Amino acid sequence: MKRRLYEDEHEAFRESFRKFLAVEVVPHHEEWERAGIVPRELFATAGKAGFLGMEIPEAFGGGGVRDFRFNAVIAEEVMRCGVAAAGLGLSLHNDICLPYFMAYCTDEQKRRWLPGIASGELITAIAMTEPGIGSDLASMSTTAIRDGDHYVVNGAKTFITNGINSDLVITAVKTDPTQRHKGMSLLVIERGMPGFERGRNLDKLGQHAQDTAELSFTDVRVPVANLLGPGEGEGFTQLVTNLPQERLSIAIAAVAAAQTALAQTLAYVKERKAFGQPIGSFQNSRFVLAEIATEVDIAQHYIDDCVRALNAGELTAVDASKAKWWCTELQGRVLDRCLQLHGGYGYMTEYPIAKAYADARITRIYGGTTEIMKEVIGRSLGL
């Protein structure tokens, strides 16, 4: 069934971004995988080319276009080029962090931060997870205690994407440690603030070019002017409001990764021979790939409907949770089955399928685990 999500302008954007990846990312990705980080210059180059902050108003250096289909194009092409780790930092910047700045910044904060976010000079991250609490954000222990015109921040965060490169870190803190959800606020903590330290760049199973770090805060004095939103205690509501877009972003990339694996495997089984014939000619291969093609197409159309709903302001937390858990679990199944069809070669990291397999495992965890997604959906059923 033909996709009807995109228009000519999106396909032109896709072609431009595909060329950008071919020149600026693909030739360097192996080096960045070994280094465990992409150079900061990647963000500046992407910003100059118009691939950051597409919805930021033109007055602040952005594209001035609020249309998540452009974000979806970026996620799809990153996966098709096999550069998931490098692309994750860009998607986090555009899809996950930017909405907080767009929705909750004061005019003064917008003037301070949006031009740098659009240009790539200010790289963003969001710090929610803490050691030992997993998905239970209300149990966080990072505090921000008011002291005159500043908050004094103490605590630690872990598994932070863009953790090494980031300049602006949206940090979930407890401004009222006596409360759970109602005590949470969001503060923007900036590079260079005394007491703000970055720990090691974490050694992960996959996504090696993505800098994922531990952050620590020891008596960090953060101006009250860096509080996001109208006042203290709004943090949990702000997170809940923005999580559907984050989860849809992850789901879009998951389906694109599955489609890419299918295309690579189809090409492989047509060429690879066993017992004197292409392995794709065996009934088992045909059936496995037929199942994958069907599931991926069905998932794609659900995702496209979710993108339309997001653009219309109608995407619910429940629908986004359905998209996130189903599509990431599908990604895992597809990568596993496609790797199996590659035989022993599928286990060799020189083959794209092996890297994609390792990169895929985290998607069922970050942005809300599969189990948390099912909990959100189950509660919506009155259970």
Exactly one of 246, 271, 291, 371 is catalytic; name it: 246
Residue 284 dihedral angles phi and psi, to the nearest 5°: -60, -45
Q: Look up 7 and say whether it is catalytic.
A: no
Calpha distance 253→196 (Å, rounded): 32
- Kindly compute the dihedral angle of the four CA atoms of residues 161, 197, 236, 184, in this order, to the nearest 10 degrees: 170
| Sequence-distant (≥ 6) Cβ neighbours of residue 368 within 8 angstroms | 135, 243, 247, 321, 324, 376
Give the 3-state secondary structure of residue 381: coil
Calpha distance 222→320 (Å, rounded): 33
Q: What share of the chain is helix, strand, coil (3-state, %, to 5)?
A: 55, 15, 30
Residue 188 dihedral angles phi and psi, to the nearest 5°: -95, 115
Residue 135 carries which side chain, given as an amino acid letter? S
Q: Which residues are catalytic?
A: 246
